[in-house]
Structure 1
């Protein structure tokens, strides 16, 4: 029942924002009484804490561990970052909307908590790995390590978060998470350069 309530809360937070979601609405979505909602969480702050502790933090920790294990190989680390971000967002329909509403937009209720508790786990790993790779001559020296994760997030997260728009614009229902991953990695690794055979 507790998991069901968290599922309902995440869906509603993603659609309406945390501020726009009353506990009674979560209870109705989960088809339980408001009393049961209060029994498990007490108030909205405790519900939000549970969402972070039990749903967001495990995702970020698993993600950070995978990327962190590859910091000596910047190419594989970047490939893993992009693939894991797109796969995670695609597997959790609530995550893109929640990220946009509550982290990116000013006043989002998860922004401070993400900055304090979760973002540094990955952001510093990526930046530090980029610095080491540059010092070893394995990564473009013109890249700013502190902006690398910003660029990776922009390229990997935004297309998933905005897919309800571009899928309609381009009639792109056939584009899968794998297609998106390949596109983003091609853009990151090779930019707009033509293949060698084409240039010849």
Structure 2
């Protein structure tokens, strides 16, 4: 009996050391958090942020609400993590392109186009969610990004576009304030439509390379000022 009494506390101690306080029993592996993030973004892209509940996100990920609350104790924290881990790196990458190629607009626009296409291909939720945030009744995620992390990258990109226009490198009739959205739209709207039609079960025969080439042709002929025209001005 004494031996059994000594063994029992040791067994309980080992079990408690293997679990964090509040962690659901039988928790899946370390990828659960990523699955929840992907599930949230997928549902945001389909239905909008405002119309997506935390319980729906847990169901989409194949996890329990308790598991979601273990990783994200509030909707605000979930949005913080999504913004910081999924959107800020892309925003920083595009900002770096403009900064690195401030004297070469065609190179910058080409690289930005390919960067956006890569993001839309790698993350099927990206283009539809961007369109939701742009055209939906509310732009919760965009407002959250701006409120929590500022708008420095967009401001720098806008300053670069204005500089190009002042130097005659892009057409004078363009609005720099609208141009960044227009550049993104040329890539992300076709990707969003492509994905939406996949949601509806009607595939279309357009791939990522076709979208990129189409966008670059429009940009080079409609945005950039031809060298001969630069000399004339």
TM-score, normalization: structure 1? 0.81
Structure 1 equivalent of residue 144 of structure 2: 113
Structure 2 equivalent of residue 196 of structure 1: none
Determine whether 1:183 maps to 2:217.
no
Cα offset, 1:49, TM superposition: 1.6
Determine whether 1:77 maps to 2:77.
no
Determine whether 1:26 maps to 2:26.
no
The total of aligned residue pairs comes to 189
CA distance in 2, matches of 1:118, 1:154: 23
Structure 2 equivalent of residue 3 of structure 1: 34
In structure 1, stretches of 5+ residues that fail to align are 192-200
Tell me the SS of whatever aligns to 1:162. helix
* CA spacing shift, 1:96–1:134, aligned 2, 3 Å: closer
Cα offset, 1:113, TM superposition: 2.2
Query: 1:132 pairs with 163, 187, 193, which one?
Result: 163
* CA spacing shift, 1:140–1:163, aligned 2, 3 Å: same
Given that 2:72 and 2:78 are in contact with CA atoms closer than 8 Å, whether structure 1 keeps it comes out as yes
Determine whether 1:89 maps to 2:109.
no
Determine whether 1:36 maps to 2:81.
no
CA distance in 2, matches of 1:122, 1:157: 19
| RMSD (Å), alpha carbons | 2.6
Structure 2 equivalent of residue 62 of structure 1: 93
* CA spacing shift, 1:117–1:156, aligned 2, 3 Å: farther
* CA spacing shift, 1:190–1:24, aligned 2, 3 Å: same
* CA spacing shift, 1:70–1:88, aligned 2, 3 Å: same
CA distance in 1, matches of 2:166, 2:135: 32
Q: How far does the alpha carbon of each residue in 1:125-156 deviate from its partner, in whole angstroms, 9 at most, with x for none? A: 33222222233333333333222212212222
Given that 2:105 and 2:164 are in contact with CA atoms closer than 8 Å, whether structure 1 keeps it comes out as yes
Structure 2 equivalent of residue 161 of structure 1: 192
Cα offset, 1:164, TM superposition: 4.7
Cα offset, 1:184, TM superposition: 1.0
Q: Which has the larger radius of gyration?
A: 2
TM-score, normalization: structure 2? 0.71
In structure 2, stretches of 5+ residues that fail to align are 1-31, 223-233
Cα offset, 1:100, TM superposition: 2.1
Query: 2:176 pairs with 121, 138, 145, which one?
Result: 145
Cα offset, 1:108, TM superposition: 2.6
Tell me the SS of whatever aligns to 1:123. helix
Q: How far does the alpha carbon of each residue in 1:4-24 deviate from its partner, in whole angstroms, 9 at most, with x for none? A: 211111112212222222222
